[in-house]
Each structure stands twice: as structure tokens, then as C-alpha cells.
Amino acid sequence: MKFPSKKLEKKLFSDGYKNIIAIDEVGMGCLAGPVVVCGVLFSQNFYARAYKDLYRIRDSKLLSAGQRENFVSQLIKKKHLKFAISYCFPKTIDKINIYQSVRLAMRRAILRLENSKSKIRKLRNTQNSNLGFRASNFKMIVLVDGPAKIKGLDIEQMAIVRGDRKVFAISCASIIAKVFRDKMMARYAKKYPQYGFEKHKGYGTKYHYAKLASFGPSEIHRKSFRLV
């Protein structure tokens, strides 16, 4: 099995970028529940060492639930990594469509991470030239999983098709997003026990379709989806 590589991130850091944000979504094709996005901000220091506990990280869809949870528990402990979760609920998805909901959640996650650097940006934007701050010290780029960049951002971006399988940073974002969403769906399963959300997490399985036929859609089903 070919694992995601760190080559792109290392090249970007060598080109002068100081921070990389990787972004990915989970739940886009579900019939129920929110679409969840995770943005992960990496500093160059993160890539300065190898982490044995992160060996064999890959796209969340290629991991078991236990493997994903183990990787997330290790990732969130890392000093030079920050992450932000954002999501859109079914009502928003039904109102503006799933694609726009994903993009909205992506912008929110990225801006939260960018705002975590607000103190540094304030230093950059005030009279700190005598302190030796340079614009190059704050170069940031967003790595987006998929074929299209995110509109409405003033941050440099790179869109990468199947990025969650090619780029280590995006794989990390996909895993955190998946674990977070799965836990949300497990909580919904307690509120709506008749649908079995703890099993299929809102995806269109035969079991899920059977429950929809029996009980009709719940409050968290996406009414705008034809199959619902």
C-alpha cells in the first residue's frame, strides 16, 4: 500500500512558507447528519522530526474506527499542530446545497486557524519593522482536498485531487474530521434510535433505506436529497 507523502509540505517549507493548513471534509454524501470539515495547521517544526506513532497514517476511509481514534489521540498531543472543526447542519445543507455547505464550513475552519495567529499578524501589521519582522515570516498556504480552491479566502491555496490519499497533512485532516463526525452520529443515534445511525453514520446503506421506508425522515435527514 502506498502511503501519503510529506514531500509536498517539506518543499513548501523550503520555499519559505511558515505554516500549512490542510483541509478536508467528511459526510458529503450522507443522507443524514452534518457535513464536517477539519482544518489542521502545521508549523515547520512539526516536520522537523519523525513520529513513530503516526506511521502508516492514510486516508480515513482506509482505516478502521479503532485506528482512526488512535491516530487522533496521538495527533492532538503534538505541540506544533493545531486543528479546527467546522460543520453545517442539514437545514443549512437543504438551504444552500451540499457543495456550498462544505465550502462554507471550510472557510470557517480556515479562518479559525488563521485567527489563532492573530497576535502575530497584529505585530506584522503595526510598526514592528525595527523588531525585524518580515512578511516572509508569515507565509501561509492552504492545501485543499479536491479539484477546486475555496472562494472567498485571501490566503494562497493549492487544490489537490485525492489529496487525502497523496498528502500526509490532508490525511490527518480527514482522520480528525471522520472521528469527530462519527461521534456526533453516535450521539444522534441515542436521540433517534430507530435509524441505526451508530451503524451507518448517516450513509445510504440498505439498512438505512429500510429504516427510512419504515419511519420516514427525521429532523437530521437532508430533505433536499432525492433519495431521502
Q: So where are the chain's domains?
A: 7-187
Residue 123 φ then ψ, to 5°: -65, -40
In this predicted model, what pLDDT tens digit does every residue of 8-50 receive, in sequence order?
A: 999 999 999 999 999 999 999 999 999 999 999 999 999 998 8
In this predicted model, what pLDDT tens digit does every residue of 123-148 receive, in sequence order?
A: 344 434 443 334 445 799 999 999 99
In this predicted model, what pLDDT tens digit does every residue of 73-103 receive, in sequence order?
A: 999 999 999 999 999 999 999 999 999 999 9
Coil, strand or helix: which one is 145? Answer: strand
Q: What number of CA atoms fall less than 13 Å from residue 28's CA on the CB side? A: 16
Coil, strand or helix: which one is 59? Answer: coil
Q: Enter the CATH code of domain 7-187.
A: 3.30.420.10
| pTM passes above 0.85 | yes
Cβ atoms 4, 198 nearer than 8 A: no
- 209 pLDDT exceeds 70? yes
Catalogue the long-range contacts made by 11-14 (C-beta closer than 8 Å, 24 or more residues apart). Answer: 12/141, 13/44, 13/47
